[in-house]
Each structure stands twice: as C-alpha cells, then as structure tokens.
C-alpha cells in the first residue's frame, strides 16, 4: 500500500502557484520523498525528490517539514500544460522491493484559464 495521503483533486488558476500537499507520517529515516506526475494518456514523469532539505529544479520546488511527516510540491507559475495527476511517493533510494515505486491515487490538478 502507498505510504502517502494526498487530496484527490485541486484547482489552480493559470499563472498562479499550485501548492500540492502530501502526508507521509510513517516515513522512515532513510526514505526519500519523490514526486511524479501523469499527464493524460502518457506515462508518469519524474518531477523532483528530497530527503529533508527543500529542493528546487526547473520544474518545481519541494518543501519538506522539519519532522518530515509532510511535504508540499510547488509549481510556481502553473500553466494549462500542468494539468495532470500528481503522485507523492516515499521510497528508499536504492534497489530491492523497498525501492520500488508504489503509487497511491494522487492529486488531480486542474489548471484553469
């Protein structure tokens, strides 16, 4: 089973920041937080990951709380092309069954004009 809890859906106005929350209260010390997204009719795509520090790349920012029990993915200026299902996943950063990606239901983000 997925170790994360996300709201089933969210809306965001185009050009505004989209903040997607994720709860992972049972995360272990060696598990990272990963975010993927799946645009309609495509395979999932990696966005970002982190352990305990905030991370930023060209796609998004990841804010992880100090106790690591929750995190927020931030899309700073959402566009219509960001409409997708966003998955928050916790896993260890190596192989073996513990390192598998186990997907929950995700959050369906709808960016509206």
Residues that bind another protein (CB under 8 A): 34, 36, 41-46, 49, 93-97, 99-106
107 half-sphere exposure, CB direction, 13 A CA radius: 25
Nearer to another protein, 15 or 99 (CB): 99
Minimum Å gap between C-beta 16 and another protein is 27
20 contacts 82 by C-beta, under 8 angstroms: no
Among residues 84, 105, 104, 101, which one has the least CA distance to residue 18?
Answer: 84
Inter-residue contact 110 to 10 (CB < 8 Å): yes
Determine the 3-state secondary structure of 81 from DSSP: helix
CB of 14 to another protein, least distance (A): 26
Nearer to another protein, 81 or 94 (CB): 94
* Closer residue to another protein in complex, CB, 14/103: 103
Distance of closest approach, residue 45 Cβ to another protein, in angstroms = 7
């Amino acid at each position: 089973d997925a170790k994360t809890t996300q709201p089933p859906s969210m809306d965001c106005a185009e050009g505004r920041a989209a903040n997607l929350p994720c709860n992972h209260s049972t995360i272990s010390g060696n598990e990272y937080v990963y975010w993927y997204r799946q645009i309609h009719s495509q395979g999932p795509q990696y966005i970002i990951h982190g352990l305990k520090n905030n991370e930023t790349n060209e796609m998004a920012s990841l804010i992880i709380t100090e106790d690591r029990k929750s995190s927020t993915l931030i899309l700073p200026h959402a566009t219509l092309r960001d409409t997708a299902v966003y998955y928050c996943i916790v896993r260890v950063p190596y192989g073996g069954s513990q390192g598998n990606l186990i997907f929950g239901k995700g959050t369906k983000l709808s960016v509206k004009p």
